[in-house]
């Protein structure tokens, strides 16, 4: 992936609240920015192209001549941004950018990097770390754009199967039952799930269960046996084996090394058992 900004020119982070609307710009010349809208709506005009960014979205803007951002009068708009200077891109790369979404949902990853950047301020003493975060933010946006593109090509049935696994942890079911729920044959479900998600439904479920187990180990004081049960494991030995396989240490070692603090750990998780297993 080609970086679309010039790291040598640095990055700056900022935020603003437009309580009754307003305008930012016009900005002339070359300009690159990621704009996050936390409340309200932003209307961006970049080289004559208009983009509407709603609350909860992040917009990418690469202007060559004129950039302008408008906020509706009479409404409260809260935004934050990271701006930089565009890199000189090869023609082929510039053309490929036309396929990159101009806006994406603000993910936890994007929000976290943005928050860290804002926390640094724009002083000279933090410029190295700020520039690293700025580059990370643009890189993260393009990474998530690639994920979004792949997601668009995942069949609806596979989306449904994955969502069902994520939302029904506490239930035991067979591959045949899951396939029936999404109107596929078991063989087609397994092969299509592996093709689009990268692993089989059962392995995906093991990952979810192990992840949930780790969360409970680190953020609750529940006994390991009870955590194993809540995560759908048949016994604590199987749970321990899975935790070691995924995280390189036993549940006891994981707790001792990373520590844990009490939390609302009352949710239940579940398991999937494959036919014949």
3-state secondary structure of 82: strand
Domain boundary at 152, 169, 187, which?
A: 152
Instruction: Look up tokens 């494991």; give the residue.
Output: 233
In 3D space, the residue among 216, 214, 217, 209 whose CA is nearest the CA of residue 273 turns out to be 209
Whether 12 and 144 map to the same domain: the answer is yes
Range of the domain at 225: 156-258
The per-residue pLDDT for 145 is: 85
Domain boundary at 152, 179, 199, which?
A: 152
In a domain, 125, yes or no: yes
State in Å, rounded, how far the first CA of the chain is from the last one: 42
Whether 203 and 148 map to the same domain: the answer is no
Whether 101 and 172 map to the same domain: the answer is no
Instruction: Tell me the per-residue pLDDT of 131-155, one tens digit each, with 9 for 90 and over.
Output: 999 999 999 998 888 777 666 678 8
Domain boundary at 107, 122, 152, which?
A: 152
For the chain, what's the residue count?
277
Whether 144 and 68 map to the same domain: the answer is yes
Whether 191 and 148 map to the same domain: the answer is no
Whether 145 and 174 map to the same domain: the answer is no
Whether 148 and 18 map to the same domain: the answer is yes
pTM of the model: 0.56
The per-residue pLDDT for 132 is: 93
CATH number of the domain that residue 15 is part of: 2.60.120.280
3-state secondary structure of 206: helix
Whether 78 and 50 map to the same domain: the answer is yes
In a domain, 84, yes or no: yes
The per-residue pLDDT for 260 is: 55
Whether 14 and 86 map to the same domain: the answer is yes
In a domain, 2, yes or no: no
In a domain, 94, yes or no: yes
Instruction: Return averaged pLDDT per consecutive 10 residues of the chain, 277 residues in all.
Output: 72 92 88 93 91 92 89 89 80 59 89 94 88 92 79 83 85 88 94 90 91 90 92 90 92 82 43 45
Whether 78 and 91 map to the same domain: the answer is yes
In a domain, 110, yes or no: yes
In a domain, 57, yes or no: yes
The per-residue pLDDT for 109 is: 92
In 3D space, the residue among 264, 265, 263, 268 whose CA is nearest the CA of residue 167 turns out to be 268
The domain total for the chain is 2
In a domain, 272, yes or no: no
């Amino acid at each position: 992936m080609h970086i679309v900004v010039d790291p040598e020119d640095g990055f700056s982070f900022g935020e603003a609240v437009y309580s009754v609307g307003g305008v930012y710009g016009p900005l002339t010349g070359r300009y690159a920015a990621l704009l996050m809208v936390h409340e309200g709506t932003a209307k961006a005009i970049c080289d004559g192209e208009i983009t509407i960014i709603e609350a909860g979205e992040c917009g990418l803007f690469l202007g060559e001549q004129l950039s302008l951002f408008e906020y509706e009068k009479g409404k409260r708009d809260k935004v934050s941004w990271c701006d930089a200077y565009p890199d000189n891109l090869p023609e082929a790369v510039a053309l490929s950018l036309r396929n990159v979404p101009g806006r994406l949902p603000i993910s936890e990853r994007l929000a976290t990097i943005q928050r860290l950047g804002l926390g640094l301020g724009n002083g000279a003493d933090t410029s190295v770390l700020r520039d690293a975060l700025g580059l990370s933010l643009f890189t993260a946006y393009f990474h998530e754009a690639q994920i979004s593109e792949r997601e668009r090509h995942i069949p609806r049935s596979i989306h449904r199967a994955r969502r069902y696994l994520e939302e029904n942890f506490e239930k035991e079911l067979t591959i045949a039952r899951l396939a029936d729920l999404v109107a596929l044959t078991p063989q087609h479900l397994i092969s299509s799930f592996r093709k689009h998600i990268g692993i089989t439904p059962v392995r995906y479920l093991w990952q979810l269960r192990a992840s949930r187990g780790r969360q409970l180990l680190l953020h609750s004081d529940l006994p390991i046996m009870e955590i194993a049960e809540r995560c759908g494991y048949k016994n604590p030995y199987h749970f321990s084996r899975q935790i070691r396989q995924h995280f390189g240490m036993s549940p006891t070692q994981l707790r001792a090394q990373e520590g844990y603090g009490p939390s609302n750990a009352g949710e239940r998780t579940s398991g999937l058992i494959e036919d014949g297993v």
